[in-house]
Amino acid sequence: MCRILKVHPSGFYAWLKEPLSNKAKDDQRLIGLLKQAFMAADA
């Protein structure tokens, strides 16, 4: 599978352990805050 995806096995297993990077987690948090602010402004 790693050969087909052209990724190193250690990178693949690191991704399995924690698939979302810190930036991706922060982006998800910010999206949630933006949605809350939008809903509060709409009410």
Q: In angstroms, how far is CA 38 from the centroid of its own chain?
A: 22
**12-36 per-position pLDDT tens digit:** 888 889 888 899 999 999 999 999 9
Q: How many domains does the chain have?
A: 1
- Cβ-Cβ contacts under 8 Å for 28 (sequence gap 6 or more): 20
- Report the predicted TM-score, pTM, of the whole model to 2 decimal places: 0.56
Answer whether 18's CB lies under 8 Å from 26's CB. Answer: no
Six token digits for residue 27: 């982006």
For residue 2, the model assigns a pLDDT of 87
Domain around 23 = 2-42
For residue 14, the model assigns a pLDDT of 86
Nearest Cα to Cα of residue 19 among 9, 11, 27: 11
